[in-house]
Amino acid sequence: MRKKSLGFYFLTSGILVLYFFVLQVLYNTNKSVYYAGIGLLIAVFGYFVFKDSKKVWEYLSSIKLAVSILVYLAIATIIGTLVLQNVEPARYLQHYSESFYKFIKLLSLDDTYHSIWFMFLVGLLNINLLFCTFEKLPFKKNKTGFFLIHLSIFFIVLGGTISAKYGIKGYMHFHVGETHNDFNLTKYNTMLDKKKNLDFGVRLDKFEVEYYPPDYRVYVYTRKSTDRDFGKPYSFKAEDGKEYKVREANAKLKIEKFFRDYKQQEILKHDENGVPGAEVLLKSEGNTISGLFFDTAGRDRFFLPNGEGLVVFKWEKPKTKKDIDESIREKFILTVTCPEDNKTIDVKLHKRYDFSSNYIVEVDDFVPSFSIDTKTGKVVSNGDNPDNPALHLIFINKKTGEKTDHWTFQNFPEFSHGKKIPDGCSVKFLYIPTLKDKPIYIVSHDGTVLEVVNSKIKREFQLKDNAIDFGKYKIVFKRFEPKATFELKEISASDKFNNPVVKVIWEQNGNKKELEFSAKDKKATFLNNGKVALLLRDKNTDPKAYRSYVSVIKDGKVVKKHVIEVNNPLVYGGYYFYQSNYDPKDPNYSGISVAKDPGVYIVYLGFFMLTLGGILRFYFKM
């Protein structure tokens, strides 16, 4: 047998491979005949062993057989690469004819590495490897490394084969607080309609995602003309004062200002044509919010949290009950815009006011929560909460007395029930409520505070340290200004990246342009007739790590706690639980993949033997 040519081994092993294909066809079509085929293979092998066991030994221990098998395995690997593996039938029919797809399924070429013929081929290689190893018997000390290396390959292949055939993979969907004692089985990352029960439970106690620190950058896209696609972007770190060159556009970009949490804050300033104003701070539980009061309708009051009271600013302290009632009463403010004039009117119910050149307006009725009764068709209020305040107006023609009615809504100023407002005018309505049975604090510029309940003065006191203290929060009056208005100042409201905004200067062809855009903008800012596009985005959007804090429950008791992270699975009951994924829209969800790998320790043993054998063979000449 040793004198047989390599061609002989190619031929005989090729016949075996063809027989393995026949067994695969039988397995996919008729399992009874398949098992008969296995029996025939065993019988033929037994016959040759009985007839001449020495020749069988020499055949199976031949290096030429190993070469032949490795060539066929290489061809099998090429087949597994060229033919689509483990995808839905529609994908195969997109690439192959229906008849060729049937051929693929018949020979299990769509799952090459788990097919019977491939398994048999790997098994034949393992047998050859063992026989080649035993050929070197008897064991000698100087052959220790040789035996370990050859046996290690056997164990690695054996372990991998066992894992491929008998391994279990699945998936568990968790929300914080849930316990599962089963999981969905998967095959090639596809969820099956099967579940595997566990004799223990796994509970998700906590889930957290850790992100890299935000790294906001201005991305600049350029193109030669608008009929071309944009190329790869320039990425510029959003740091104040940084200046960058954009070579493709022959331009410069300067980061004028980057705001982590952009906000426009009102700043009180002196104005000879203004009204009395006050700058205040609302302090509560470590947070401070700034604001402005103006002694004018709509800007003179602040409702305390949870409806605990109302603070009203009046430059001069009200001196009479009439002054007090006027300061704290609810108000209806109409802003009238007409072609010939604009005006703001503080109106009262059932009173008439000059509206336009041809009309007067009568304030007829008010409802705090506008609704229409479906049975009667009449306007009603859903309650006293002013969540949809509406004012009923009647326009009266000055010459004819003709009347036109109209409902105006604070929340929906453009809505008019299809009716036009006379003389081409428009109306906006602002409702300023008051409080009943709750304290109202009227603060004047000299620090005097009147506490009023239901129009009666309960007490009078002075601001202490320019503040009114309400326990959990207090209002601090920083500054009073007799004639004031406000200007908007752009600031970062906090150090958190809640609303990133960047201001840049774009310089091209000698022209400078100041731009401002936000990371929340869905569309880019376009320049140079659409040839340049700018975006502000966070470079670090992927999570740094995500962790599932779990408990293993057996017989109603917690027997193990573990933090599952990438590369740090939970191991229990022969199963491995890996952190698989998460849902950025659901902070309480965690996806855990499950695996049971019965051959993994055999593979580990093989690698250990390979390492030890290599050391003995090459360093100690054993």
Q: What is the pLDDT of residue 518?
A: 96
Q: Which of the 8 DSSP states describes residue 420?
A: P
Q: What are phi and psi of 295, to 5 degrees?
A: -80, 65
Q: Give per-residue pLDDT as tens, 554-578.
A: 999 999 999 999 889 999 999 999 9
**pLDDT band per the 50, 70, 90 thresholds, residue 188:** low
Predicted confidence (pLDDT) at residue 189 exceeds the cutoff of 70: no
Predicted confidence (pLDDT) at residue 83 exceeds the cutoff of 60: yes
Looking at residue 471, its amino acid is: G
Contact 596, 570 (CB under 8 A): no
The tokens for 529 are 């007739």
Predicted confidence (pLDDT) at residue 92 exceeds the cutoff of 90: no
For the residues of 95-146, what is the DSSP string, one character each?
Answer: HS-HHHHHHHHHTTGGGGGGSHHHHHHHHHHHHHHHHHHHTTPSP-GGGHHH
> What's the whole-number mean pLDDT along residues 377-396?
90
The tokens for 157 are 């292949």
Q: What is the pLDDT of residue 602?
A: 86
For the residues of 428-461, what is the DSSP string, one character each?
Answer: EEEEE---SSS-EEEE-TTSEEEEEETTEEEEEE
pTM for the model stands at 0.58
The residues, any chain, with a CB within 8 Å of residue 38's CB and separated by 6 or more, are 23
Q: What are phi and psi of 66, to 5 degrees?
A: -60, -45
Rounded Cα–Cα distance for residues 429 and 301 (Å): 17
Helix H, strand E, coil C: the string for 493-543 is: CCCCCCECEEEEEEEECCEEEEEEEECCCCCCEEEHHHCEEEEEEECCCCE
Contact 109, 115 (CB under 8 A): yes
Helices (H), 573-622: 600-618
Rounded Cα–Cα distance for residues 602 and 334 (Å): 84
Q: What is the pLDDT of residue 84?
A: 85
**pLDDT band per the 50, 70, 90 thresholds, residue 1:** very low
The tokens for 373 are 């009764």
Name the packing angle between helices 63-82 and 116-134 (round to 10°): 160
Rounded Cα–Cα distance for residues 60 and 40 (Å): 19
> What's the whole-number mean pLDDT along residues 85-105?
85
CA angle 157, 159, 165 (to 5 degrees): 100
Q: Give per-residue pLDDT as tens, 458-516.
A: 999 999 999 999 888 899 999 999 999 999 999 998 899 999 999 999 999 989 999 99
CB count in 10 Å sphere of residue 86 = 14
Q: What is the pLDDT of residue 143?
A: 79
The residues, any chain, with a CB within 8 Å of residue 444's CB and separated by 6 or more, are 313, 314, 315, 316, 317
- Strand, coil or helix: 174: strand
Q: What is the pLDDT of residue 2?
A: 52
Rounded Cα–Cα distance for residues 80 and 112 (Å): 5
Contact 175, 158 (CB under 8 A): no
Q: Mean pLDDT across the chain, nearest whole number? A: 90
Rounded Cα–Cα distance for residues 308 and 217 (Å): 45
Contact 66, 125 (CB under 8 A): yes
The tokens for 329 are 């009463």
Q: Which of the 8 DSSP states describes residue 472?
A: S
The tokens for 489 are 């100042």
Name the packing angle between helices 31-60 and 116-134 (round to 10°): 20
Instruction: Give whole-number Cα distances, 569 to 233, 562, 564, in Å.
Output: 39, 9, 5
Predicted confidence (pLDDT) at residue 19 exceeds the cutoff of 70: yes
Q: How far is CA 619 from the centre of its chain?
A: 53
CB count in 10 Å sphere of residue 200 = 14
CA angle 525, 528, 534 (to 5 degrees): 25
Rounded Cα–Cα distance for residues 316 and 295 (Å): 9
pLDDT cut 90: percent of the chain above it? 61
Looking at residue 464, its amino acid is: K
Q: What is the pLDDT of residue 451?
A: 95
Between strands 403-409 and 557-564, the pairing is unpaired
**DSSP H or E stretch at residue 315:** none
> What's the whole-number mean pLDDT along residues 87-108?
87
Q: What are phi and psi of 458, to 5 degrees?
A: -85, -40
Q: What is the pLDDT of residue 398?
A: 95
